[in-house]
Amino acid sequence: MTTTGAAVDYAAAVQVLDTARSVTVLCHIQPDADTLGSGLALAQVLDRRGVPVRVSFAEPTELPYALRTLPGSRFLIPPAEVPPEVDVLVTVDCGSAGRLGALADRLAGAGTTLVIDHHRSNTRYGAVNLIDPDAVSTASVLTALLDRWQEPIDADIAHCLFAGLATDSGSFRWVTPGTHALAERLLATGIDGGAITRTLMDTHPFAWLQMLSTVLASARLEPEAHGGTGLVAAFVRATDLDGVRQEEAESVVDIVRATAEAGIAAVFKEARPVDERRRWTVSLRSKDSGPGTDDGADVAAIATRLGGGGHRYAAGYTTYGEPEEILGRLRTALA
């Protein structure tokens, strides 16, 4: 049993993969467990079938520490080594070509492009687009694809898929029908779900606490934003990350979003190294008013207006400039 909608057509995707002679799998920049777990799971299946396969992402230059325990890392190559041409290029969890960063130019050299995703805002930039916006994760979509392809899921593949499922569902706080059944199926392969989630979501260096104290102390609350929905915003400056990995900044939004007085949370994370343009990746989150409601702000629409995308309740984009300048642009988009 999977978490994906029955109306999604998998036949074209199965055909592409079934006849592939070589495959490059690309994950989005600043990879999380859903994009990388899906990419490495697919790579293991292709390798088992004897198909040459490689996996990559444009940035950062090193694999985030929390993701290093995912099976299949042997298929990862640096972006500079991704060949300009390949029979099939697959992107996983990438809502637009821009999310590929510097590797977006590899799309032009592919014989066929296959997009596997679950973002409602996906721009459908592939020749074949396997997108299920009702799925809780791209790992869920890939599981359904493997079922249609009649490819078995062993423990290593299940580890990668469970990582994507657990993280994109917020440790199963945001689920759709079938999510828990899929988790149970993956756990039945013998993987340790508790250890996987602890590594991915609940393990941080001591310096993370000091970074949090600085960032949270400077958070701003604007109750009148977005017609009274309310906005809470925080900035993670590059200097706040001294002694802390860039990836540690990704956890901040889940703390900021707990603010009761704001229905929208935004965390601006400054990229390192800092240049004169000052690049920031922005995480947006919103929430509804309670069980059975669907009245939360559509942050995917807001992010799309600012050049990004995502889901109704979780989205993001990239921006440039000084803190007051970029916050002002968000305020305008929320008006």
Give the C-alpha separation, 77 to 330, whole Å.
36
Given this model, what pLDDT does residue 176 score?
87
Buried b (16+ CB within 10 A) or exposed e, 295-322: ebbbbbebbbebebbbbbbbbbbbbeee
- DSSP letter for each residue of 68-95: TTSTTGGGB--GGGS-S-EEEEEEES-S
Say which residue the tokens 């079934």 belong to.
Answer: 18
Given this model, what pLDDT does residue 173 score?
86
Contacts of residue 20, defined as CB under 8 A and 6 or more positions apart, other chains included, come to: 46, 51, 87, 88, 112
pLDDT in tens, the chain (335 residues): 344 444 688 999 999 999 999 999 999 998 999 999 999 999 999 999 999 999 999 998 889 989 999 999 999 999 999 999 999 999 999 999 999 999 999 999 999 999 999 998 899 999 999 999 999 999 999 999 999 999 999 999 999 999 999 999 988 988 889 999 999 999 999 999 999 999 999 888 999 999 999 999 999 999 999 999 999 999 999 999 988 888 889 889 989 999 999 999 999 999 888 888 999 999 999 987 544 445 689 999 999 999 888 888 888 999 999 999 999 999 999 98
173 neighbors 28 (Cβ within 8 angstroms)? no
Given this model, what pLDDT does residue 175 score?
87
115 neighbors 128 (Cβ within 8 angstroms)? yes
Helices 179-187 & 155-168 angle (0-180, nearest 10): 150
The full 3-state SS of 131-143, as one line of letters, equals ECCCCCCHHHHHH
Given this model, what pLDDT does residue 2 score?
42
Stated pTM of the model: 0.86
- For 315, phi then psi, to 5°, come to -150, 180
Which H or E run contains 180? helix 179-187
Say which residue the tokens 């979003």 belong to.
Answer: 257
Assigned token pair, 282: 């922005």
